Structure 1
Amino acid sequence: MSQTAYTAVRIEGNLLPHDLLEAIQRGDHDVPGIRPEDYHLAAGERLNHAASRKWDYLTGVYRSFRDRLAQLPETDPATTLTRERWLLILLDELGFGRLPYQRGGLAAEGETYPVSHAWQQVPIHLLGWRTELDRRTGGGKAGRAPQAMLQEFLNASDEHLWGVLSNGRQLRILRDSTNLVGAAYVEFDLEAIFDGELYSEFVLLYALAHVSRFEARPVGSEGAPVPAGCWLERWRAYAAETGERARERMRDGVKAALERLGTGFLRANPKLAQALAEGRLKKEDFQHELLRLAYQLIFCFVAEDRGVLLDPQAPEAARQRYRDYFSTARLREIAARRYGDRHTDLWQALVYVLDGLGSGNDRLGLPALGGLFFRDEKLESQQLDLDADPARVPPDFLRRCPLANADLLEAVRHLATFRDRQGRLHATNFRHLGSEELGSVYESLLELIPAVEPGPSFVLRERPGNERKTTGSYYTPDPLIQCLLDTALDPVIEEHAKRGVPDDLLKITVCDPSCGSGHFLVAAARRIAKRYAAMVTGEDEPVPEKVREAMHEVVARCVYGVDIN
């Protein structure tokens, strides 16, 4: 599950990227399909103006519906009231018209699914206010959770690609998730939007759930309209293209940060520059440590923004101390306001954090992670001596070198921000940065070779080939990973599932001896977790909460990975 910057919107299965939602919200002209005519509006009529008219009417409808709902007993699911006095009116205002009841449901692969309504090739399942979307409604197949039922139907049907599910409190836009491993939807919390008068989030609901987004269109310039040509599907393709450009921008930012950090360390540490010039310290080793530092920072950015960096069992005073004085969020805020100076206090504070993540720090609520933050404790108390045998230089030697605030802040700016094609500055969305992005960025950086120029200045130059070919460091794209899992992992899952005992799946071992950012292992764990959850719940498409619970078991017991770099 991914929480967006909005209060009442969340995304499951990375169905539509968060950056795309923000671009749609601000009316970015680069996003296709957001012209007035694309929404069947008059030329020159703005989308938010159309949404405003609907908002005024629907807020009154919602209040009247809630008054009627309060008169029903708590045991009444309120199905008819919710449909007739709220959801059908809402969908009518979104352009679907007055939807008739779908008697007999919809069929796919010889099975009938109790979908209540439909519009063209879009199944629309409407329920009562007191019916939970992710909870079973009874026994057997007929009692599947509404979310699981509609997701199974979309996956089974070749004619239906997108669907809508709502109980009046939440509205979800679903897509066939056959190739996504798990549920995929965008959820709008209608109760929060209308009770809290979150107008801006209603505008986003109007933009994404309007009937024009689901209309079948030709895929190319010619041909018959098909569901795969709808604007929602085109937005997914657009997001994939812009994602590639975003990775390029991130790669450029990491490269610039490495050069600024390298130059800063050389100028603040003359002995370091001399050791590099005389070959006592290899430029490649220096580059590796700079890259390690950059990825330590990115790790902290991501973990902090997701709220998972600090030990939840640590005292609140320790965690608040970290947030107020040592967090990388504070460092990014400072970088946005100041250019910095020659002092080194910000770097010293960061080193304190990195050391804490290596072995733990109770005063800041930091867990002992080791790994990326490993430090050689045997050499910890020794003074760094670059005149000694280079083989004895510890892997964390940069933490023993001073670095000016100006250089650190400039590097943080390169890592934490980017400019779009119009030159506008944006903060990088680390909360939703995945292993796929990290892996592809890291791969591209391996094509750079380090050099030290007079000044001294540290630079990274482009050259084809280089370390990727000598170390075999290649990022594996997702389609290739999924193909590999189809042939290698799925038969193993089937074999372990034969007895019908979920815990048998936890006996599977997946080992990646060169795991890199862990993309393959995460994908493998998701497959095992989905099947585990399916066996536990008895549903082919278990709800996301159950898959997440299973994921904890699978990650703890089934997947292993190592990497030298």
Structure 2
Amino acid sequence: MKRTRKTQATLDLPTLKLEGGLFLPGQLEKAAQSRASAQLEADYGTPKGVKLKDEYSRAFQIACAQWQHFATQMERADVDAAQCTTAFVHELLRDAFGYATLQATAAQQVGELRYPVSLMADTLPVLVAPHTLGLDAADARFAVQGGGSRKKASFQAMQELLNASEPLQWGIVSNGKQLRLLRDAASLTRPSFLEVDLADLLGGQRYAEFANVWRLLHASRASRPGQGATACIWEQWRNEGQQEGTRVRDGLRNGVEQALLTFGQGFLQHPANHALRAALNDGTLSKDAYFQQLLRLIYRLIFVFTVEERGVLHSQDDSAEALAARRAYAEGYALTRLRELCLKRRARTRHDDQWQAIRIVFRGLAQGESRLALPALGGLFAPEQCPDLDVASLDNAYLLAALQYLRWAKPVGAQRLVPADYCNMGPEELGSVYESLLELVPAIDLPARIFGFIGRTEEGSTVGNARKLTGSYYTPDSLVQELIKSALNPVIEQRLAAQPANPTEALLAIRVIDPACGSGHFLLAAARRLAEKLAQLRSLEDGQEGAIQPQDYRHALRKVVARCIYGVDRNPMAIELARMALWLEGYEEGRPLGFLDHHLQVGDALFGLTDLTGLKQGIAKDAFKPLSGDDKDVCKELAKANAAGLKQIAKDLQGKQMLLGVDNRSGLEALRAIETLPADTPEQVAAKEQAWRRFLEESAHSPLAHAADALVGAYLLAKMEDTADTVPTSIILHALLTAPERAQTEHAAPIAAAREACEQARVFHWPLAFPQVFTEGGFDCVLGNPPGSASSCRRKNSSPPATATWRKPATRPNAPSASSGSVRAYWRATCTQTWPTKRVRTKLKNAFTANSSPPAVRRRRPACSPM
């Protein structure tokens, strides 16, 4: 007999709706079918001699009778809707689900705020809306007293209560027709709840499904007084689901690597891809560029998986044409249909029809395709993102094998495959992908048509080298949320208090930076927090009186991402992943993917200048101390020339001779113009990108950029007899600051050498990269997890100027390590990116926090403190 593969795709409980990450779908389904923990008869408090089936059979009869009475009451015009709904929900929970301690209550006081609550069962609050009102519809009865809003939805009011109250962790809202179970959540931007369709469940007298719901919502699942949160079965199931989710993420991390290998091999192997192999052979397409296109293909797939499963890919158009287009997409092109197909061996043929369908989807998302109801997104789907892969062929065998790695995982010890939950994918999953990508260095054997990774599929390097070179590691979400509370929330409060007349613009003027952003974990959390507040403020301004809908959050997220969020990372792959994460969070139906390149930039946060006025101090003499491999005589001559240049600079400053303007006004005006360009259509986004590319080209060759590179390049360049003429000194720096045109002619060689050295080291000059921020005093909030060691990327024992320490080179440690120098430099750097009144919060290792440096920094920046 043929064996069938057991898989688990989505929640298969018709009367239940799981939104967000309240429970893992598989965990919830196990609990509904009595296969989870704490589901013995004794766990439900069933008396001895009574079977569990007898209990929920009795409860079903009671619930159906109560529904019939309630349904009759709903049809009567002379019955108060709120009273009859409250009575029904009270009786249903008490008599059918065992909430014997359920009592009527008025409100819950938390601090200065009073939250509406209808019923209370020990530590479980219940809020009841009238049956005439949806759970997401705003009403004055659910306004939080003292909160400023005159109206709120019942669901939103309960969520805010749970978020504000420490002892209250779970709650229920119901309007008699639907019932939602929800929990304290870090974010309101993506609602998280379990909803029961009571009208369908009880009105349709669905006994089997009622048994499932009863097992999930019985009073024994909630915590009791004195037992604490650990005694709550919902919390226990949630934790078990999170542990399962961790194992799935581990599988996803490996899956991304295997998918890259499969795609890389598949494109090389296909007989029709002559042009691709020729480009790799003649160097037109490098192996790194090929790898980048494979990564972008993975990002595209993850993006489409996510928006499809969240149901936000198509715009909300109910016309006959739109409905037909969505149906055509779902039946013939949706990537969701491949989730089960990729598990079927017989589908893995040598045809390429499935890849051609995916190409049509990508092309439609690039420029729009009304016949499939696909919006024009541009960005990640633009033709220049994957130019070689977009015209290549890939057979179904390789495609479906790669998709299985992306869509399914087999956790350690599991007996069956578990799906990756892209609907609720958060920073944890993206961080998991990020960790795996940093370790990969591509290798191609073109004659054999083999694609692999050094240290994984062949010898030649150690695993994890790229990760070590980029000095990166991943931050747990719990720590991220704590930093948001301690750093960003005070900034929001201060800014709104300072500008009460225009709170939305005050909020959008906040600038948040992560100097080592990785996959964007901190940036996502900051964007969500700012968007929550922005949506709330806008609802008040627009006359909605505090009622916020999911589309309001998405619109606010898009605006926040475009205006407030900045990130820097040494690794280009990390920047691309962070960009995709922000695109996903800020995705708004019918709108193109926003332009983020001017806010997310590649560079070494510890390597460059934060204050251009430091150019007036010249190049420090320490830059010419001989290091390993340097010629001492050459260093002595360069130091002598540098001293002459320093004297000339000092003479000019003493005589108050104006040097080249170091406020970067031209760069500032150009950036401000780019910031104001619209980005509501793919064409406008493309125009904004072109303007940004022109700015980059012009700013890279500006005298100010050459001067900054000369200062840093003096540390980086080797000082030997044959390279002595290419090492900049303060003489060249002085020339660049006083007569830039003459300097670029007379000193072309050292200027070019310094620029090349800085490009290779990914030197990042903050005021040149973000002039629109630094002319206003720097960032308002710096969040982050300091990078580890990246010293092997630089000259051994060299100590080029870091962002906050270059003014005093004698105090800099040599060869910074992850636990001392580089972390200390990161800490000082973050504190120089803000005014003293602004906020810095970072996660630092114990070896550094025990050091004497943080108190010294804190004396200069009181708002700076390590976590």
TM exceeding 0.5: yes
Q: Which amino acid aligns with 1:262?
A: G
Superposition deviation, residue 62 in structure 1: 0.9
Q: Which amino acid aligns with 2:489?
A: D
Of residues 164-173 and 274-283 in structure 1, the stretch that sits farther from structure 2 once superposed is 274-283
Superposition deviation, residue 549 in structure 1: 1.0
After superposition, the C-alpha distances for 1:477-503 in whole angstroms (9 at most, x for unaligned) are 323432343344323322332206442
Higher relative contact order (CA 8 A, sep 6+): 1
- The equivalent of 1:189 in structure 2 is 197
- Say yes or no: does 1:425 pair with 2:432: no
- The equivalent of 2:229 in structure 1 is 227
Superposition deviation, residue 246 in structure 1: 0.9
- Say yes or no: does 1:293 pair with 2:297: yes
User: Which runs of structure 2 are paired with 1:438-457 in the superposition (5 Å)?
Assistant: 438-452=430-444, 456-457=449-450
SS at match of 2:81: coil
Greater C-alpha radius of gyration? 2
User: Which runs of structure 2 are paired with 1:2-21 in the superposition (5 Å)?
Assistant: 6-11=13-18, 14-21=21-28
Q: Which amino acid aligns with 1:66?
A: A
Superposition deviation, residue 301 in structure 1: 2.1
SS at match of 2:21: coil
- The equivalent of 1:213 in structure 2 is 221
Given that 1:87 and 1:168 are in contact with CA atoms closer than 8 Å, whether structure 2 keeps it comes out as no
Q: TM-score scaled to structure 1, two decimals?
A: 0.80
SS at match of 2:423: helix
- Say yes or no: does 1:555 pair with 2:546: no
The one of 168, 177, 181 equivalent to 1:173 is 181
Q: Which amino acid aligns with 1:308?
A: V
Superposition deviation, residue 63 in structure 1: 0.7
Q: 1:66 to 1:322 in 2, by over 3 A?
A: closer
Root mean square deviation of aligned Cα: 3.9
Given that 1:162 and 1:174 are in contact with CA atoms closer than 8 Å, whether structure 2 keeps it comes out as yes
After superposition, the C-alpha distances for 1:61-105 in whole angstroms (9 at most, x for unaligned) are 21122223433426x2241x3344553243332122263434x65
Cα distance in 1 between the residues matched to 2:435 and 2:85: 52
Q: Which amino acid aligns with 2:333?
A: F
Superposition deviation, residue 162 in structure 1: 2.5
Superposition deviation, residue 35 in structure 1: 3.0
Cα distance in 1 between the residues matched to 2:315 and 2:119: 47
Given that 2:89 and 2:174 are in contact with CA atoms closer than 8 Å, whether structure 1 keeps it comes out as no
Given that 2:258 and 2:405 are in contact with CA atoms closer than 8 Å, whether structure 1 keeps it comes out as yes
- The equivalent of 1:345 in structure 2 is 353
- Say yes or no: does 1:58 pair with 2:63: yes
Q: Which amino acid aligns with 1:458?
A: F
Cα distance in 2 between the residues matched to 1:528 and 1:186: 26
Cα distance in 2 between the residues matched to 1:362 and 1:166: 39
Cα distance in 1 between the residues matched to 2:269 and 2:90: 65
Q: 1:528 to 1:4 in 2, by over 3 A?
A: farther
Given that 2:34 and 2:215 are in contact with CA atoms closer than 8 Å, whether structure 1 keeps it comes out as no
After superposition, the C-alpha distances for 1:100-142 in whole angstroms (9 at most, x for unaligned) are 434x655443666553432223333445434554523358829
Superposition deviation, residue 564 in structure 1: 4.9
- Say yes or no: does 1:322 pair with 2:329: yes
> Identity rate of aligned residues, in percent?
36
Given that 1:9 and 1:201 are in contact with CA atoms closer than 8 Å, whether structure 2 keeps it comes out as no
Superposition deviation, residue 452 in structure 1: 4.9
Cα distance in 2 between the residues matched to 1:140 and 1:245: 40
- Say yes or no: does 1:25 pair with 2:32: yes
Of residues 141-150 and 256-265 in structure 1, the stretch that sits farther from structure 2 once superposed is 141-150
Superposition deviation, residue 38 in structure 1: 1.9
Q: 1:285 to 1:87 in 2, by over 3 A?
A: same
Superposition deviation, residue 430 in structure 1: 3.1
Q: 1:543 to 1:466 in 2, by over 3 A?
A: farther
Q: Which amino acid aligns with 1:467?
A: A
- The equivalent of 2:761 in structure 1 is none
- Say yes or no: does 1:503 pair with 2:504: yes
Superposition deviation, residue 245 in structure 1: 0.5
SS at match of 1:96: coil
Superposition deviation, residue 214 in structure 1: 1.3
Q: 1:336 to 1:88 in 2, by over 3 A?
A: same
Given that 1:121 and 1:160 are in contact with CA atoms closer than 8 Å, whether structure 2 keeps it comes out as yes
Given that 1:525 and 1:551 are in contact with CA atoms closer than 8 Å, whether structure 2 keeps it comes out as no
- The equivalent of 2:41 in structure 1 is 36
User: Which runs of structure 2 are paired with 1:118-517 in the superposition (5 Å)?
Assistant: 118-126=120-128, 128-130=130-132, 133=135, 134-138=137-141, 141=145, 145=152, 146-177=154-185, 179-180=186-187, 185-199=193-207, 201-216=209-224, 225-269=227-271, 282-310=286-314, 315-316=321-322, 317-332=324-339, 334-337=341-344, 338-376=346-384, 395-419=386-410, 421-452=413-444, 456-460=449-453, 461-462=455-456, 463-471=462-470, 474-498=473-497, 499=500, 501-504=502-505, 505-510=507-512, 517=519
Cα distance in 2 between the residues matched to 1:13 and 1:322: 25
Of residues 348-357 and 473-482 in structure 1, the stretch that sits farther from structure 2 once superposed is 473-482
Cα distance in 1 between the residues matched to 2:197 and 2:528: 26
Q: 1:34 to 1:547 in 2, by over 3 A?
A: same
Q: Which amino acid aligns with 1:490?
A: N
Q: TM-score scaled to structure 2, two decimals?
A: 0.54
Q: 1:159 to 1:194 in 2, by over 3 A?
A: same
Q: Which structure 1 residue ranges, 5 or more long, are not aligned?
A: 218-223, 377-393
After superposition, the C-alpha distances for 1:379-406 in whole angstroms (9 at most, x for unaligned) are xxxxxxxxxxxxxxx8531233322222
Q: Which structure 2 residue ranges, 5 or more long, are not aligned?
A: 1-9, 457-461, 568-574, 578-867
Cα distance in 1 between the residues matched to 2:518 and 2:449: 32
Q: Which amino acid aligns with 1:493?
A: I
